[in-house]
Amino acid sequence: MTLISAASRAAMAGGLLLAGTCLSAAEDLTLWTLNFSSEASNEAFNKITAGFEAANPGVKVTIVTRGTDDHKTAIRVAAGTDKGPDIYFMWAGLGLGGEYVKAGLSLPLDKYYAEYKWDEKLVPAAASFSRIYEGGRHGVPFTFKGEALYYNKALFEKAGITGTPANYDELVADAEKLKAAGIPAITFGGTVNWHVMRLMDVILESKCGVEKHDALMNMKVDWTKEACATDSFAELDKWSKNYILSPFMGIDQAQSFNLFVAGRAAMMLEGDWLVQQLAEAGNLDDYDLFPFPTGTNRLYGFAEYHYVSTKAANPDLAAKFLDYFNSTEVQQSVLGKFSTSSINKQVVYDNLRPMDKKWLDIFNTFDKVYMNGDQAFPLDVTTEYFRVINEVASGNMAPADAATAMQTFIANKG
Amino acid sequence: MATRAIWSNTRIQAALLLGPALVVYVVFAVFPMLDVIWLSFFKWNGLDPVKVYVGTTNYVDVFTKDPVFWVAFRNTMIWTALSVAIPPMIGLALALGLNQPIFGRNTLRAIYYLPVIIAPIAVATMWRWMYDPFFGLFGQILTSMGLQSWVKDWLGNRDIALYSAFGAYVWQSVGFSMVLFLAGLQGVNRSLVEAARIDGAGRWAIFRYVTLPALRTTLTIVLVLAIISSLKAFDIVYGLTGGGPAQSTQMLALWAFTQSMQIFDFGRGSAISVVLLGVTLTVVIPYVRWTQKREEVAE
């Protein structure tokens, strides 16, 4: 081997190595998400990333998981630097996901929604959250959770309730029947603020309707000038005094669930995840569910999303990964690993339990969603919303004062 | 020769020994403290690239617009007053009892000290279940005694929730005071006690005029530590009530944490921290100086 040929080979090898490095750097994809609650979820995520890497030679997908608070902090730290993920997990909604969108950390995905025809695959209610932000569509659903009223069939029967209520007034009438039969209508755990909040959310939707409810949550209207807001607080006051299993302010959601399973209360306002919990704790045949009868044709729920970062080195690759992640084939293969149901509506479900089937019907029926208050409001307003709700629910604040307290806080926020 | 002279200089030796600790202290204590004070004059959510200078707005907002701050302030003061009075008193009583030659006193000392080594968040979890109004220990005991009407929503009733949380804190912290007092009691001059006894002093008189003066330094340490730890009370309240119901058990340290790390309003959270620092220094420095003067006079 001559010196020249050796040198040229070394140069070629170096060039290839350099090219390889550049290629590798360009084809790296990093996703930041939460620690998964089960090994099955971990395995499913690994399976998806391995599948994507196999289908796209040269691409390396790195998944970084953290606890909830660490994850939020890490994204904030990354926001101030050039480093950070290409894709990040965050809940949908103006309060949580919206804050990062507002800070310019999320890339609008309109062109990818069109290019990959995601709307044809995604459950409409789950995908609807991507439209709530200003400046385009943001994020792609990872999971979608619906919330509804679960009820104890035997207790309903004992109270002489034969069907599910068609509207809010019928629901209150049923709660009154349960009370007359000596049965607390519903159970909540007050120490976790978001549990009782759910009742306030659904009452607001029932009493205010779609437009006013949204306007209140978006802080576009004055809470003191909307009679429905005060009416809703009055209804919350009525429920807490008459229909919620008491005492409830000193227990949490898990204790509340135990009371529900023990037959101490007839209903529980929970998400689709409760089906599995009920199956493990008791007999599913003893329970059934129905969407909270707000009369607005919107489902109560929230979604977890994957957002593409504006700092992503290769947004096209990130979108391609999300398309792969949410494809029918992949979603079919990991069905039930992340959530009861998939965000892909083309997935086929086999051997569904009756309650799972009911959830599936609900998801396919509703194409509009109203979300939990803690995901709709900014974080500081959420904290005040919790406080005001708890004050009303524990009988320390009059409904009219509650609306004033909310508006005062919002006005002071500026 | 010159090198040896440098190394034998006591000032240089002191500087070398103190240096590493001082660096750690400056980096991890002084700098963050100054950073918090600086941050309290800015508006920043941790996301925006620029922190906006807002002057004293955070302080004004905390004092005039925050619906929770004064509740947290009042609770912190109540908690501190109770912490200074109750756990040291019980700790002293336990120490006096367990300083006597009674059967199994070492075991009893270990039992009373045991809660101190349990993580506060674990204590909170344990006590939360004991306070459960439906299935909890206290509810079941009262029910079995026919006192069902006495069962309360211990952590859900705003009138009693703070005191319920304080009960758990007493259970956990009393062993710490006890150990300090036990150590202090070992320094009480036995001959003085015997002399007082020969002179006809009763138990109370011996305690009042011999034991208690000998415990003055220990008492100062216990009370200062009680004040400091109660002013920054956080974990046990966080674990038991999370500041609820309706923020009625909120504390200054917990509220500062909530503002900074949950609401991500770092400016306001820092302002609350600075207020807490000010309160702590206002209470602790005069007390320490007063006790130092008393000790100097006594000497």
Measured between alpha carbons, how far is A385 from A194 in angstroms, rounded to an integer? Answer: 10
Q: How many alpha carbons lie under 13 Å from residue B229 in its C-beta half-sphere?
A: 22
Q: Is A242 exposed, middle or buried (0-12, 13-18, 19+ CB in 10 A)?
A: middle
Q: Which of A100, A192, A246 sits opposite B47 (nearest CB)?
A: A100
Asked whether the beta carbons of A383 and B263 are under 8 A apart, the reply is yes
Which residues make Cβ contacts (< 8 Å) with residue A356, sequence separation at least 6? A275, A340, A341, A349
Give me B56's structure tokens: 């004293």
A269 touching chain B per CB within 8 A: no
Q: Compute how many other C-beta atoms are within 10 angstroms of the C-beta atom of residue A348.
A: 8
**pLDDT at position B2, please?**
67
Question: A182 CB near a chain B CB, below 8 Å?
Answer: no
Q: What is the pLDDT of residue A18?
A: 41
B225 φ/ψ angles, rounded to the nearest 5 degrees: -65, -40
Instruction: Give the model's pLDDT for residue A11.
Output: 45
CB contact under 8 A, B135 and A379: no
Percent of residues in chain B assigned helix, strand, coil, to nearest 5: 75, 0, 25
CA distance B274 to A314: 44
Record: contact B47-A250, CB cut-off 8 A: no
To which residue do tokens 């995601």 refer?
A118
- Write down the pLDDT at residue A166: 95
Cα–Cα nearest to A154, from A283, A42, A16, A12: A283
A73 and chain B: CB distance < 8 Å anywhere? yes
Residues paired with residue A87 on neighbouring β-strands, in sequence order: A31, A308
Question: C-alpha distances in angstroms, B198 versus B187, B195, B201?
Answer: 20, 5, 7
Cβ distance A391 to B262 less than 8 Å, yes or no, reads no
Mind listing the domains of chain B with CATH numbers?
Answer: 67-298 (1.10.3720.10)
CB atoms < 10 A from the CB of A324, how many?
Answer: 18
Q: Do A259 and B134 touch (CB under 8 A)?
A: yes
Contact A191 B245 (CB under 8 A): yes
Bin A171: left if φ > 0, else alpha if -120 < ψ < 50, else beta.
alpha
Which percentage of chain B shows pLDDT scores above 70?
A: 99
> For residue A289, how many C-alpha atoms fall within 13 Å in the half-sphere facing its CB?
26
Q: Do B48 and A247 touch (CB under 8 A)?
A: no
Asked if A307 and A139 touch (Cβ cutoff 8 Å), the reply is yes
A80 vs B contacts (CB less than 8 Å) = 47, 49
Tokens of A126: 């789950």
> Mean of the per-residue pLDDT values for chain B?
91
C-alpha torsion sign, points A372, A376, A378, A381:
negative
DSSP state letter for A270: E
The confidence score (pLDDT) of residue A134 equals: 86
Best mutation target among B138, B148, B153, B261 (most A Cβ atoms within 10 Å) is B153
pLDDT digit string, tens, across residues B72-82: 999 999 999 99
Q: B246–A396: do the CB atoms touch at under 8 Å? A: yes
CB contact under 8 A, B244 and A405: no
Contact list in B for residue A259 (CB cut-off 8 A) is 134
Chain B: give the shortest CA distance to residue A60, in Å.
Answer: 28
Determine how β-strand A87-91 pairs with β-strand A287-290: unpaired
Note the pLDDT of residue B299: 66
Partner-chain contact A76 B134, CB within 8 Å: no
For residue B256 the two structure tokens come to: 């500062």
Round to whole Å and give the CA distance between B46 and B68: 22
**Token couple for A311:** 């700092």
Tokens 């002399």 sit on residue: B195
Partner-chain contact B47 A259, CB within 8 Å: no
Task: From A303, A288, A282, A317, select the one nearest A369 (Cα to Cα).
Answer: A303
Nearest CA in chain B to A405: B67
Q: Is the Cβ pair B245, A394 closer than 8 Å?
A: yes
Query: DSSP secondary-structure letter at A36?
Result: P
Record: contact B156-A394, CB cut-off 8 A:
yes
Regions of chain A with pLDDT less than 70 = 1-26, 37, 414
Rg, C-alpha atoms of chain A: 24
A79 vs B47, B134, B161: nearest CB: B47
Q: Is A181 on the interface with B (CB under 8 A)?
A: no
Q: Which residue of B has its CA nearest to A250?
A: B156
- Give A-chain residues touching B154 at CB under 8 angstroms: 250
Do A343 and A123 contact (CB within 8 A), yes or no? Answer: yes
3-state DSSP assignment of residue B40: coil
Q: Which residues of A touch B262 (CB under 8 A)?
A: 69, 379, 383
Q: Which of A76, A391, A412 sits opposite B246 (nearest CB)?
A: A391
Each residue's pLDDT tens digit, A21-59: 344 445 899 999 998 767 788 889 999 999 999 999 999
| CB neighbourhood size of A243 (10 A) | 24
Q: Does domain A21-145+301-369 have CATH number 3.40.190.10?
A: yes
Q: Nearest residue on chain A to B48, judged by CA atoms?
A: A103
Distances A393 to A214, A245, A246 between C-alpha atoms, Å: 22, 12, 11
pLDDT at B67: 93
CATH code that applies to domain A147-300+372-413? 3.40.190.10
- Kindly give, in sequence order, each residue whose CB lies less than 8 Å from that of residue B152, ignoring residues fewer than 6 positions away: A247, B133, B160
Contacts of A412 in chain B (CB under 8 A): 61, 65
Positive/negative CA dihedral, A384, A390, A396, A399: positive
**Calculated CA dihedral for residues A7, A12, A18, A21, nearest 10 degrees:** -130
| The model's pTM | 0.85
What digits encode the pLDDT tens for the residues B166-215?
Answer: 999 999 999 999 999 999 999 888 899 899 999 888 989 999 999 999 99
Give the span between the Cα atoms of A143 and A44, in whole angstroms.
14
Nearest alpha-carbon partner for A199 in A386, A6, A395, A11: A386
Searching chain A, which residue's CA lies closest to the CA of residue B238?
A191
- Cβ separation of A250 and B263 shorter than 8 Å? no
- Does residue B65 belong to the interface with chain A, where contact is any CB pair within 8 Å? yes
Candidates B62, B134, B158: best to mutate against A (most CBs of A within 10 A) is B134
CB–CB contact A248 B156 (8 Å):
yes
Coil/strand/helix, residue B180: helix
Residues 6 or more apart from B298 whose CB is under 8 A from it? B213, B216
Average pLDDT of chain A, as a whole number: 89
**Residue A16 confidence (pLDDT):** 40
Element (H, E) at A142: strand A140-152
In chain A, the residue whose alpha carbon lies closest to the alpha carbon of B131 is A250
Spans of all domains in chain A: 21-145+301-369, 147-300+372-413
Amino acid at A44: A
Question: What are the strands, taking DSSP E only, across chain B?
Answer: 42-43, 52-53
If residue A61 lies in a helix (H) or strand (E), which one and from where to where? Answer: strand A60-66
Q: Quick one: DSSP state of residue A387?
A: H
A338: contact with B, CB 8 A cutoff:
no
Please give the backbone phi and psi of residue A29, each rounded to the nearest 5 degrees, phi first.
-135, 125
**Set of chain B residues whose Cβ sits within 8 Å of the Cβ of A73:** 46, 261
The first and second tokens of residue A213, run together, are 């409810």
